[in-house]
C-alpha cells in the first residue's frame, strides 16, 4: 500500500473545473497539486501549487512532471496511453490504465458493462454504412471515441439513409444504440480506496438539455430498490476495474424500473457536484483520499439538494445567486463566456426528506 501523507504532491492530468475542485479539496487536506495540461488559461491551474503547460506527447515535460509528484491522477479520461505509461513508470497512477482505457471508447465500455452484468440499451459497433444498416432503430449513433456532452451524436430515425448518415457522421468508428424511452436518468458515484473499501454516494437524478447536464436532484425520486441496485452496480463496476478513485455510472431508468447503464467516468462527475454542499465528505475529497491512499470518508448526505449548472451567459446571474439565502455558488473562473460552456454551478439545499 502506498499512502501519500498530507504535505505530498498530487499530479493532475487536465486543467478543467473538475481538476480545479479536486485541487481545492486536496489543498484543504494539506496536499499540493501540480496540474499538467496543454492550455495556459485553465481553471485548475489558477488554484494549484504548480503547473506544467505542455502537450500530452511532450516526454521531457512528462518526466519533469513525474519527478515532482508522489502520485498522479486525471480530471478527464482522454489522456493518451503513452503519457500515462510514461508517468506510471515513476509514480503510482490512480486510477490505473484499465479504467481509463475502458472509458475512452464507447464500444470497449459497453462490452465491459455487459461482461460484468450491467444491462445497456441494445447496441452494435459501427465501422461502415453496411454496419449501420443493422443498427437498432430508432436509435442514436455515437462516436466511439472523444465524444462528450452529447457531441458527436446523430439520431437514426425510421427509414434513415445509411450511406448519407455514415458520410455525415465522419468518424472512423461508432456505436449505434437503441433510443431508450426512459422515465429518468440517474447516476451513482462510487469511491474505491486502495484497500478495496467502497463508499457510494446517494443516487442523483439528472436532467439534460441538448445533451448537456442541466440539473441534478437528490433524492432522485425513484423507488428505493432501484436506487440501491444502481449503487451496487457502480460498486461492482469499480471493483471489476480494480479502480482506485471514483467511478461515476450513468443509467437510464425505464418505465418498468429496469436500469440500463449508459456511460462510466473514472473521475469526479458533474452529477456529483451536489455532494460539496450536502455531504460531510464530498466527491472531490473522496477522490483525493482514494488517490492518496487514505481511508475513505463518510459519504452520508445531510440535506436534500438541487444542483443547477450555469451555462454560458447564465453565469451573469451571480449577483442574484449571491443574494439568495441558502444558494451555494461555485464559479470556475473562466474568462471567456461561450454558449453552453460550463461556467459554474449553484446548489440549493433543503431539509433532508428521506
Ligand atoms: P451521452 O453522451 O451518451 O451521455 O448522451 C448524452 C445524452 O443524450 C444522455 O444523457 C441522454 O439524455 C441522451 N441519450 C444518449 N443515449 C440515449 C439513448 N440510447 N436513448 C435515449 N437518450 C439518449
In CATH, what number is assigned to the domain containing residue 152? Answer: 3.30.1490.20
Kindly state whether residues 154 and 188 are assigned to the same domain.
Answer: no
**Cα–Cα distance, 67 to 34 (Å, whole number):** 11
Say if 108 falls within a structural domain: no
Q: Of the residues 93, 112, 146, which one is the last residue of a structural domain?
A: 93
Quote the mean pLDDT of the chain. Answer: 96
Structural domain boundaries, residue 247: 182-351
CA of 66 to the centre of ligand 1 (A): 37
Q: Which CATH number does the domain housing residue 88 bear?
A: 3.40.50.20
Whole-structure pTM value: 0.96
Cα–Cα distances in angstroms (integers) from residue 143 to residues 107, 175, 176, in the given order: 9, 6, 9
Closest-lying ligand 1 atom to the alpha carbon of residue 262 = 3
The count of domains in the chain is 3
Kindly state whether residues 231 and 329 are assigned to the same domain.
Answer: yes
**Cα–Cα distance, 17 to 290 (Å, whole number):** 19
CA of 26 to the centre of ligand 1 (A): 32
Structure confidence by residue, pLDDT tens digits, 171-205: 999 999 999 999 999 999 999 999 999 999 999 99
Taking CA atoms only, the protein residue closest to ligand 1 atom 17 is 179
Instruction: Report the residue among 150, 155, 181, 215 best suited for mutation to probe ligand 1: largest number of ligand atoms under 8 A from its CB.
Output: 150
Say if 56 falls within a structural domain: yes
Above 80 in pLDDT, residue 150? no
Kindly state whether residues 162 and 203 are assigned to the same domain.
Answer: no
Q: What residues are in contact with ligand 1 under a 6 Å CB criterion? A: 121, 140, 147, 150, 177, 179-180, 185, 208, 211, 262-263
Sign of the dihedral through C-alpha 142, 146, 147, 153:
negative
Kindly state whether residues 41 and 141 are assigned to the same domain.
Answer: no
Taking CA atoms only, the protein residue closest to ligand 1 atom 5 is 150
Kindly state whether residues 195 and 289 are assigned to the same domain.
Answer: yes
Kindly state whether residues 272 and 195 are assigned to the same domain.
Answer: yes
Cα–Cα distances in angstroms (integers) from residue 107 to residues 120, 186, 212, 259, in the given order: 11, 21, 21, 19
**Cα–Cα distance, 54 to 166 (Å, whole number):** 35
Say if 99 falls within a structural domain: no
Taking CA atoms only, the protein residue closest to ligand 1 atom 13 is 211
Kindly state whether residues 286 and 313 are assigned to the same domain.
Answer: yes
Structure confidence by residue, pLDDT tens digits, 102-141: 999 999 999 999 999 999 999 999 999 999 999 999 999 9
Above 70 in pLDDT, residue 1? no
Kindly state whether residues 325 and 188 are assigned to the same domain.
Answer: yes
Amino acid at each position: 500500500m502506498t499512502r501519500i501523507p498530507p504535505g505530498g504532491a498530487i499530479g493532475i492530468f487536465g486543467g478543467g473545473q473538475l481538476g480545479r475542485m479536486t485541487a481545492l479539496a486536496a489543498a484543504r487536506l494539506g496536499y499540493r497539486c501540480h496540474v499538467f495540461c496543454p492550455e495556459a488559461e485553465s481553471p485548475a491551474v489558477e488554484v494549484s501549487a504548480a503547473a506544467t503547460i505542455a502537450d500530452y506527447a511532450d516526454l521531457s515535460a512528462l518526466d519533469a512532471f513525474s519527478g515532482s509528484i508522489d502520485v498522479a491522477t486525471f480530471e478527464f479520461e482522454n489522456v493518451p496511453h503513452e503519457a500515462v505509461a510514461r508517468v506510471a513508470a515513476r509514480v503510482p497512477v490512480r486510477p490505473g490504465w484499465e479504467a481509463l482505457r475502458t472509458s475512452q471508447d464507447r464500444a470497449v465500455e459497453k462490452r465491459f458493462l455487459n461482461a460484468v452484468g450491467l444491462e445497456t440499451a441494445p447496441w452494435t459497433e459501427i465501422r461502415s454504412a453496411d454496419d449501420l444498416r443493422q443498427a437498432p432503430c430508432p436509435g442514436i449513433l455515437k462516436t466511439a471515441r472523444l465524444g462528450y456532452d452529447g457531441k458527436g451524436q446523430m439520431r437514426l430515425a425510421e427509414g434513415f439513409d445509411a450511406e448519407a448518415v455514415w458520410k455525415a457522421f465522419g468518424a472512423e468508428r461508432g456505436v449505434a444504440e437503441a433510443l431508450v424511452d426512459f422515465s429518468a436518468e440517474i447516476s451513482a458515484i462510487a469511491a474505491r480506496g486502495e484497500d478495496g473499501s467502497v463508499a457510494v454516494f446517494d443516487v442523483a437524478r439528472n436532467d439534460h438539455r441538448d445533451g448537456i447536464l442541466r440539473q441534478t436532484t437528490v433524492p432522485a425520486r425513484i423507488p428505493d430498490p432501484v436506487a440501491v441496485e444502481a449503487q451496487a452496480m457502480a460498486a461492482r463496476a469499480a471493483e471489476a476495474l480494480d479502480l482506485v478513485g471514483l467511478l461515476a455510472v450513468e443509467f437510464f431508468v425505464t418505465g418498468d424500473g429496469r436500469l440500463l447503464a449508459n456511460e462510466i467516468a473514472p473521475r469526479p462527475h458533474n452529477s456529483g457536484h451536489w455532494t460539496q454542499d450536502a455531504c460531510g465528505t464530498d466527491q472531490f475529497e473522496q477522490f483525493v483520499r482514494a488517490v492518496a491512499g487514505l481511508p475513505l470518508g463518510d459519504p452520508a448526505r445531510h440535506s436534500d439538494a438541487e444542483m443547477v449548472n450555469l451555462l454560458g451567459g447564465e453565469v451573469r446571474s451571480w449577483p442574484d445567486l449571491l443574494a439568495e439565502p441558502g444558494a451555494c455558488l461555485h464559479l470556475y473562473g473562466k474568462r471567456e463566456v461561450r454558449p453552453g460552456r460550463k461556467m459554474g454551478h449553484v446548489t440549493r439545499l433543503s431539509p433532508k426528506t428521506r
